[in-house]
Structure 1
Amino acid sequence: CHGMYDQAGEIQILLEYMDGGSLEGRHIASEPLLADVARQVLQGLAYLHRRKIVHRDIKPSNLLVNAAREVKIADFGVSRILAQSMDPSCNSSVGTIAYMSPERINTDLNHGKYDGYSADVWSFGLSILEFYLGRFPFGDNIGRQGDWASLMVAICYSDPPAAPPTASPELRSFISCCLQKEPSRRLTVARLLQHPFITRAPAAAPAPLHPPPPPFS
C-alpha cells in the first residue's frame, strides 16, 4: 500500500500499478516459468495464512503481474480474517463457483462449514493447472455458458483434474497435492513451498508473461 486517503468519508487506497494486468487467459507452458509464478502466489498466500487470513477467491483474474514478472494477489473483497472469529471455519459461499473446492459447493457433507486454508489451496492448484493447459481444467465450455449445474456436478462428483502425462512428474505431483477432494489430504501452502516442483525448478528465463491473444471478432 503506497498511501491511504479519506475523501469525504470514503477511504481510498493507493496501490502498486501492475502494468501487465491479470493472468487471466495466459498459457504458461514453460514449467520453470510456471514454477516461478506458483512460488510467488504461494508466498503471498503463506503471508496471508500466517496471519489467519483466507482469500476465498483465488483465480487467474485475481493474480496480477508487472513488467518485472512479479506476481501479486488482488481482490480481497470476500477474504476473511479468521482471527476475528471464535469459529475458525468458514461457512459462506462467496467467491467464484468455477474455482471453488468441492466441499464449498456440496455443503451437505460438512454442515455448511469448510476449511478456508485448504479451499485456497484448491483454487490455487486449479489456477496453476489452467495456466499450464491454456484452458479451464474442467473443460473449455462447462460453466462458461451459464450451465452452472453441470460445472458444480463436475467439481463435486468427477475426478479432480490432473496435469497431462506430458508434464513432468514433479508438476503432476504438485497439482495432485493441491486438487484432492478431501480437504485434509491437500498440502498446506507452507508444505507446497517445499515441494520439488518449486524447490528444484531451474531458473526461468527472463521473459515476460505475454498477455493472452485478443478474441476472434
Structure 2
Amino acid sequence: MMVLVKDRRNLNLRLPLPEGHQRRPAFPLPLSLSSVSSTGTSNLSSSAAGASFSDFKTLEVLGHGNSGTVYKVENKRTAAVYALKVVHGDSDPTVRRQIFREMEILRRTTDSPFVVRCHGIFEKPGGDISILMEYMESGTLDSILKTTGSFSETSLVHVARHVLNGLSYLHAHKIVHRDIKPSNLLVNRSMEVKIADFGVSRIMTRTLDPCNSYVGTCAYMSPERFDPETYGANYDGYAGDIWSLALTLMELYLGHLPFLLPGQKPDWATLMCAICFGDPPRLPDEASDEFRSFIGCCLHKESSKRWTAAQLLTHPFVNKDSGLDK
C-alpha cells in the first residue's frame, strides 16, 4: 500500500508583542511647554498659527498611545483646546521611529475631515517631540463602548461611513493605517468619527508593496499579516485595514472581540490560530441582511477578494439612513 506524504508547510508562528502599555513612558504633570520651539509648522491651522508653546497650559493627561503620552492643553490667549502628544528624546528607538513615521504621515493628511488634524509639530533641543492635534471631546470608540455598552446598527452605519471616508482618503494617498481598532477611532462633540494614531502606519511606495510585518494589534490583524505565504498572494496592501474595520464594527455591535466569547481575555496564540485556521466570524441572525453582507465583503480570507474602501462606500449598509449625519 502506498502512502502519500505531503510536505509540511512551515507556518510563520511568530507572535507580535502585546500592547506595551507597561513600557510606555508616563510623563508627570505639569508639562513644561515654554522651552519648545516649532519645526515644520507650515501645516498649523489659523487658530494655532503664530502661537508659541508658552501660550499653552496643560489641563490633564488624556492617555498613553502607541508612541507617547497625550495631554489636553489650552491656549491661554484664545481658550482653544487641543490634544498634545509628547515623546521624550530618550524614548525607546522603536517609539522614536514610530513618531517620526507619524509626523511624516500627519504632514500629508491635513485635508480630510475624517482624519484627526495636526495643528503643528514641535521639537525641543533635547530631542523631545510634541505634536499639537485636534482635540476630540468624546474620546475613543473603545471608551464609549466601555461606558455605554454595545452600539446599535444605526450608530454603526454612521461609524462605518466616516471611517471608510477616512480610509478612502488615506488609501488614495497610498497610506495604510495598519492599526484600525476602536481605541484609534476618535469622536468629537458633533459625533464625527475620525482616524487617529499613525504610529504603525506605512506610506506605500508602490500599489502592491507588501505590508505584512507583525505590527498593530493581534486581535484585528488579517490572515495574511500572520501567514503571507498562504493568504497574501497578490494582495494590494490596503485590504488589512478593511479586515480590521469589519472586526472593529463587529466588536462594537457584539460588545466583545468577535473571535472570543464574552468576558474571555485575549490570548495571542488563540487569536492567531482562530484568524489563520478558523472561518471568519459572522454576525448573529438578528443583524440585518445589509450588515451581514457588508461584513462578508470585508472578511474574505483571501485579501484580493475584499472590497476596497471606495467600493464599500457604495454598499447598501453604509447608505442606510443613520439619522446621525444630518
Uncovered stretches (5+) of structure 2, i.e. residues with no partner: 1-117
Q: Which residue of 2 aligns with 1:4?
A: 121
Uncovered stretches (5+) of structure 1, i.e. residues with no partner: 207-217
Query: What is the CA distance between 1:103 and its match in structure 2?
Result: 1.1
Q: Which residue of 1 aligns with 2:182?
A: 60
Compared CA separation, residues 158 and 203, structure 1 to 2 (3 A): same
Conserved 8 A contact 2:234-2:304:
no
Q: Which residue of 2 aligns with 1:210?
A: none
Alpha-carbon separation, structure 2, partners of 1:184 and 1:170: 21
Larger mean Cα displacement after TM superposition, 28-37 or 122-131? 28-37
Alpha-carbon separation, structure 1, partners of 2:319 and 2:232: 38
Alpha-carbon separation, structure 2, partners of 1:30 and 1:82: 35
Q: Is 2:311 the partner of 1:191?
A: yes
Post-superposition CA distance 1:181-208 (Å, at most 9, x none):
11111100000011000113342399xx
Compared CA separation, residues 55 and 86, structure 1 to 2 (3 A): closer
Structure with greater contact order relative to length (CA < 8 Å, sep ≥ 6): 1
Q: TM-score, normalised by structure 2?
A: 0.58
Conserved 8 A contact 2:180-2:220:
yes
SS for the counterpart of 2:130 is strand
What is the CA RMSD across the aligned residues, in angstroms? 2.4
Post-superposition CA distance 1:74-112 (Å, at most 9, x none):
1111100002x6962223111111100011112332679
Compared CA separation, residues 47 and 143, structure 1 to 2 (3 A): farther
SS for the counterpart of 1:90 is coil
SS for the counterpart of 1:196 is coil
Alpha-carbon separation, structure 1, partners of 2:156 and 2:232: 36
Alpha-carbon separation, structure 1, partners of 2:160 and 2:208: 30
Alpha-carbon separation, structure 2, partners of 1:154 and 1:190: 28
Query: What is the CA distance between 1:171 and its match in structure 2?
Result: 0.4
Q: Which has the larger radius of gyration?
A: 2
Alpha-carbon separation, structure 2, partners of 1:63 and 1:121: 14
Post-superposition CA distance 1:29-86 (Å, at most 9, x none):
3222110011111111111000000000111111111221111111111100002x69
Q: Is 2:141 the partner of 1:19?
A: no
Report the AA paired with residue 223 of structure 2: P
SS for the counterpart of 1:12 is strand
Report the AA paired with residue 303 of structure 2: P
Q: Is 2:199 the partner of 1:81?
A: no
Alpha-carbon separation, structure 1, partners of 2:224 and 2:263: 19
Alpha-carbon separation, structure 1, partners of 2:263 and 2:269: 9
Q: 2:260 aligns with which of 122, 129, 139?
A: 139
Conserved 8 A contact 2:235-2:304:
no
Report the AA paired with residue 265 of structure 2: R
Alpha-carbon separation, structure 1, partners of 2:318 and 2:244: 18
Higher strand share: 2
Conserved 8 A contact 1:39-1:193:
yes
Alpha-carbon separation, structure 1, partners of 2:155 and 2:231: 37
Q: TM-score, normalised by structure 1?
A: 0.85
Conserved 8 A contact 1:90-1:114:
no
Query: What is the CA distance between 1:28 and its match in structure 2?
Result: 4.2
Conserved 8 A contact 2:313-2:319:
yes
Compared CA separation, residues 134 and 6, structure 1 to 2 (3 A): same
Q: Which residue of 2 aligns with 1:116?
A: 237
Report the AA paired with residue 94 of structure 1: V
Conserved 8 A contact 2:177-2:202:
yes
Fraction of identical pairs, as percent: 55
Q: Which residue of 1 aligns with 2:291?
A: 171
Alpha-carbon separation, structure 1, partners of 2:262 and 2:255: 13
Paired residues in the alignment total: 204
Conserved 8 A contact 1:143-1:151:
no
